[in-house]
Copies of this chain bind each other. A is one copy, B any other.
Amino acid sequence: VATPDVLVGGRHFRTDWCSATDVGHRAAAANLADIAAMGAVPTALLVALCVPRDLDQRWAEQLADGLAAECATVGAAVVGGDMSSSQAIIVAVTALGDLQGRAPVRRSGARPGDVVAMAGRIGQAAAGLTVLSRGFRSPKALVEAYRRPAVPYWAGPAAADLGATAMIDVSDGLLADVGHVADASGVGIDIRHDVFEVTQPMRDAASALGVDPYTWVLTGGDDHPLVATFPPTVTLPDRWLVIGRVTDGAGVTVDGRRYTDGPAGWDHFAR
């Protein structure tokens, strides 16, 4: 399996919010997570890097360090690349993975009655991004969650082995990405909001910034948990959190109701 992803400086990352090493971790993680979400083990990255002519060489070296370090966590490596000059920093990564004989898990196989389960954390990276965008540097746990995603790479092949019918990694936000599964599978998906952990740093930041923390959980990206659907007969190990059900119909609901983006929408069903 192979998957491309492109990060644009100033759009997908800011060099004042993330070190070059962080950007390397994030760029690799986003791609390696996509490989895992197909049920495969990541094996290699190819990196096309465009940078301004006056960029400090150390920035590129630290980017490479971050890419290599994130790859090393799954036994993969950067095996090739290309470079050019450009105005903005562009990091275009293609990841390759090995299904090891498994059939690929697609987005299109979810069936009504399936259980929806998640591996990994959610909402913390989005909270970290909000913290940074408001000019703060703490809570550190949230900022670090944004800078260094903790992707549950193990969960991709594990889900395939358990018989997952569909899978995706959350990069655009839980509801958006689960919506891709619902659309591709021709089903509806209902998510339960009260199963998600809202950590103390998330509560603190939410309170300080006047944000509903479930906005981070339901619509934030960057944490890259894996979400998979399983037949109801499958016994899921503890590391999986059941977050909802596949239904007849179409689209994504939260607690049985349509989610309208933003705090106003959230008020419709959360309180």
Contact = CB atoms under 8 A, between A and B. Distances in A.
A48 B5 contact: yes
A92 interface: yes
A6 B84 contact: yes
A6, A12, A81, A88, most chain B CB atoms within 10 A:
A6
A107 to B, nearest CB: 13
Contacts of A12: 84
B2 A50 contact: no
A80 interface: yes
A94 interface: yes
Q: How many copies does the complex hold?
A: 2
Count chain B CB atoms within 10 A of each CB in A7, A11, A12, A82 and give the residue with the most. Answer: A82
Contacts of A86: 8, 11, 88, 90
A173 to B, nearest CB: 17
A47 interface: yes
Contacts of A2: 2, 44, 46, 79-80, 94, 96
A80 B3 contact: yes
A87 B5 CA distance: 18
B4 A47 contact: yes
Contacts of A44: 2
Nearest to A9: B86
Interface in A17-63: 44, 46-50
A35 to B, nearest CB: 12
A135 to B, nearest CB: 25
B90 A50 contact: yes
Given A2-B2, A5-B82, A80-B3, A92 B48 contact: yes
Interface of A: 2-8, 11-12, 44, 46-50, 79-88, 90, 92, 94, 96
